[in-house]
Amino acid sequence: MARIMMDSRKTEKIVFFFLFLATLLIVAPVGMIIVIIIQKGLPAINWQFLSDIPRQGMRAGGIFPAIVGTVYLVLGAIAFALPIGLLAAIYLSEYARDNLLNRLIKLAIVNLAGVPSVVYGLFGLALFVVFFKFGASILSGSLTLGIMILPIIITTSREALESVPYSFREVSLSLGASKWQTIRSVVLPNAIPGILTGTILGLSRAAGETAPILFTVAAFYLPQLPKSIFDQAMALPYHLYVISTQVPNVDEKIRYATALVLLTLVLFMNLVAIIIRYQFRKKKKW
Amino acid sequence: MVKIQVQNLNIWFGSMQVLKNVNLEIESNEILTIIGPANSGKTTFLRMLNRLNELETNFRMNGSIQMDGTDITALDTELLRRKVGMVFALPTPLPLSIFDNVAYGARTHGIKNKKRLYEIVEKALKEAYLWEEVKDRLDISAFKLSGGQQQRLCIARTLAVKPEVILFDEPCSGLDPISTAKVEEAMLKLKQNYTLVLVTNNVKQAARVGDRTAFFLSGELIEIDKTEKIFTAPSDKRTDYYIRGKFG
């Protein structure tokens, strides 16, 4: 009996060790990436780097146009994907009956999430740049990124809507409210935190992707700010790719500093969304 | 006077027949209590009267339900549910303030005037015997109230819509005896102005508040009669068994 006890205690320790190790292995790369990028990039960050245009063939100067380009692209993608994604999510969670068409739609959305990002790039090139004649422009790039993040927004919004207790809907309907009134005044307000989480995920994804903007918007070198949504623009991920592989003799500092700015930008956008979400969660009462 | 007349009502969910050929009448200003073991179809019957069953995808029915001579399936559901309110088994406050919970129905029906809304909320809370306990804190979350208060809030919320019939689906199943007594007291007063249908698992509660009592078993209405009659001399053996706790 005592030996069995000892054995089970030993097993417990071994299991704990491996579970903890696996968890640690996940955290380690994240920490290392952050430490290395900050260590190597921070020395190159100064006001000029953030506010100036690239100079001397991108070996000096700043990355301001790329920052602005990325911000425009992300905002454009969200402006396109959030309304459409949310409306689709409302349809799927509140109105869609379980029939063949709706199952096909759900299947399509799941598959959309699995399409490689470079395929979105080619799709954007064919549809927006060539067919709709938007050219390589912020509009084309935003729409391409928007389609890429649609499945994320739809899936998370749907989960958020479906997590609102069913009894809330029944109560609202039983008081004589219409279905749309019920959605608007009971379901949506309580799903906002979850919807924002989806938006955060989509936003980060859109800010960091290179392939979808490669053919649809990104300029190799464009030392000025875009004047309209029909202009090409520089973007941080693509700029990083360019100075890392396409331009010789770029100081390592500049490359890491660019990565640091991209990381900070995404983090900052996430932070804003997290704060908004927190404000809503505080009000959540069930 | 007959308020609701149910004739040959059959209900299926998928291939399961939940109600079998139910015929009964509900009188104005009475409390009709419905008793029966689990899965006897009593809640399904109740949810038919405001057509909440229709939210289920595989729901099917035939037969007729007439309220004041009009077939309720011909009515707009929103209109029907204003006339036939419902209080659910567990207290179901919406994640809003006390005031906004009670004002919810009135607001969805287009009443925006603040003073008018306040009058409606005050009247409903008084009718549900909750006003004195909450009048100084109408803007706090409804979730801060106790279970019994929450259930009376739900009654007030239903009353604020000015229904003619109120359906109670085991409204005291989660409440302590004192809260239960308060809810029952409210129901007894309410029957002066409303018609009440009460589904309950608590046979004693049916005896305390019911004017008439109906006994459901496996989707069939076994008998319906004056409550004293059901509890003293039921005409069906099965009713007698159930009331004396022999099954269910």
Question: pLDDT tens-digit profile of A25-63?
Answer: 999 998 999 999 999 999 888 898 888 888 887 787 888
Q: What does the pLDDT average to over B117-128?
A: 93
Find residues 20-59 of chain B whose CB sits inside 8 Å of chain A: 50, 52, 55, 57
Task: Note whether B91 contacts A: Cβ–Cβ < 8 A.
Answer: no
Question: Nearest-CA residue of chain B relative to A184?
Answer: B108
Task: Note whether B95 contacts A: Cβ–Cβ < 8 A.
Answer: yes
Of residues B33, B72, B51, B55, the one with CA closest to residue B208: B33
Percent of the residues in chain A that have a pLDDT greater than 90, as a whole number: 52
Q: Do A284 and B86 touch (CB under 8 A)?
A: no
Task: Note whether A103 contacts B: Cβ–Cβ < 8 A.
Answer: no
CB B208 within 8 A of CB B183: no
Strand locations in chain A (E):
54-55, 60-61
Q: Do A185 and B108 touch (CB under 8 A)?
A: yes
Look at residue A85 and tell me whether its pLDDT is greater than 70: yes
Of residues B204, B248, B178, the one with CA closest to residue B33: B204
Take residue B28 and report the two structure tokens written for it.
């104005």
pLDDT of residue A286: 53
- Which alpha helices (DSSP H) does B56-113 contain, by range? 77-83, 98-108
CB A276 within 8 A of CB B85: no
Which residues, other chains included, contact A6 with Cβ-Cβ below 8 Å and sequence gap of 6+?
none
Task: Note whether B76 contacts A: Cβ–Cβ < 8 A.
Answer: no
Distance in angstroms (rounded) separating the CA atoms of residues A141 and A124: 7
Look at residue B50 and tell me whether its pLDDT is greater than 90: yes
Write down the pTM of the prediction. Answer: 0.83
Which residues, other chains included, contact B58 with Cβ-Cβ below 8 Å and sequence gap of 6+?
B12, B13, B14
Q: How confident is residue A19, by pLDDT bands cut at 50, 70 and 90? A: very high
CA angle B12, B16, B20 (to 5 degrees): 55
> What are the chain A neighbours of B53 within 8 Å (beta carbons)?
none
B2-243 classified as CATH 3.40.50.300: yes
Name the minimum distance, in Å, from the CA of B52 to any CA of chain A.
7
Find residues 196-225 of chain B whose CB sits inside 8 Å of chain A: none
All structural domains of chain A: 47-283 (1.10.3720.10)
Which residues, other chains included, contact A91 with Cβ-Cβ below 8 Å and sequence gap of 6+?
none
Strand partners, B141: B97
Which residues, other chains included, contact A107 with Cβ-Cβ below 8 Å and sequence gap of 6+?
none
Question: pLDDT tens digits for A150-171?
Answer: 999 999 999 999 999 999 999 9
Of the partner residues B77, B92, B142, the one whose CB lies closest to the CB of residue A167: B92
Find residues 153-192 of chain A whose CB sits inside 8 Å of chain B: 167-168, 170-178, 181, 185-186, 190
Distance in angstroms (rounded) separating the CA atoms of residues A242 and A246: 5
**Which of residues A4 and B115 earns the better pLDDT score?**
B115
Of the partner residues B82, B141, B158, the one whose CB lies closest to the CB of residue A285: B141
Q: Which residue bears the tokens 């029906």?
A: B109
The upper half-sphere exposure of residue B72, i.e. CA atoms within 13 Å in the direction of its Cβ, equals 30
